[in-house]
Amino acid sequence: EAGVTQSPTHLIKTRGQQATLRCSPISGHTSVYWYQQALGLGLQFLLWYDEGEERNRGNFPPRFSGRQFPNYSSELNVNALELEDSALYLCASSLGTGGWNQPQHFGDGTRLSIL
Amino acid sequence: KQEVTQIPAALSVPEGENLVLNCSFTDSAIYNLQWFRQDPGKGLTSLLLIQSSQREQTSGRLNASLDKSSGRSTLYIAASQPGDSATYLCAVELSGGGADGLTFGKGTHLIIQP
């Protein structure tokens, strides 16, 4: 069974640009989560999508946004990039609101570097 | 606001030793707790999930315990091997269905010396 896949592996941008990160969940999973792992800050919850809708977001500004497609894959968009956005962005999937106490399964992440 | 703390931040032990990693959380009203491992430059691998009504979970050489009332969890690794070297993270889920995402500790960086 294929795990959570993320693309691209690495992304280099400059300040002010926009970045788009992509995630494909495990087959059968309807929930997708995005997390930011910045140096020294640990993993922080960014966004949760389930059944095509944004269900919740963490304490991040609106320039962090995304969407979930009908096939449950997801896209994270970061606008007006700032130096502090440099981080590993991890996507996770789970069975969603229909599957309580289900573990989240993570991809290998996209390393975003802002120059 | 829920805070998760992991002690120690780093640990280096010789191969074959049994070891304990600690995790504490400030709000005992959790839904479940998960332990993950993260290899350098990689994503997270789920190791064990303990529901709030459970006291422990076991998988192979790993045993995780949960004491919700005191806000503590431990991950016990038996007969450690060099392949166990990684960063171990604990995370709590505050409400069911994933509504709040997971709140993570900063991890314990474990090195097993051959």
pLDDT in tens, A67-92: 999 999 999 999 999 999 999 999 99
**Confidence (pLDDT) at A41:** 84
pLDDT in tens, B61-85: 999 999 999 999 999 999 999 999 9
**Confidence (pLDDT) at A100:** 63
> Is pLDDT above 60 for A22?
yes
Contact B45 A106 (CB under 8 A): yes
- List chain A residues with CB under 8 Å of B104: 42-44
- In this structure, chain A runs to a length of 115
> Is pLDDT above 60 for A99?
no
Q: Which two tokens stand for residue B5?
A: 């703390």
Among chain A residues, the shortest Cα distance to B53 is held by A101
Inter-residue contact A13 to A82 (CB < 8 Å): no
**Confidence (pLDDT) at A97:** 61
**Count of CB atoms situated within 10 Å of the CB of B58:** 11
Contact B46 A33 (CB under 8 A): no
From the list A56, A107, A108, the residue facing B100 with the nearest CB is A56
- List chain B residues with CB under 8 Å of A104: 34, 46, 98, 102
SS3 category, A11: strand
CA distances from A12 to A39, A43, B40 (A): 17, 21, 20
> Is pLDDT above 90 for B29?
no
**Confidence (pLDDT) at B95:** 72
Q: Which of A101, A105, A106, A108 to mutate to test the interface with B (most CBs of B within 10 A)?
A: A101
**Confidence (pLDDT) at A39:** 87
Read off the pLDDT of each residue in A39-51 and give the average, rounded to a whole number. Answer: 90
pLDDT in tens, B11-26: 999 999 999 999 999 9
Contact A101 B43 (CB under 8 A): no
Q: CA A114 to CA B12: how far, in whole Å?
A: 33
**Confidence (pLDDT) at A73:** 97
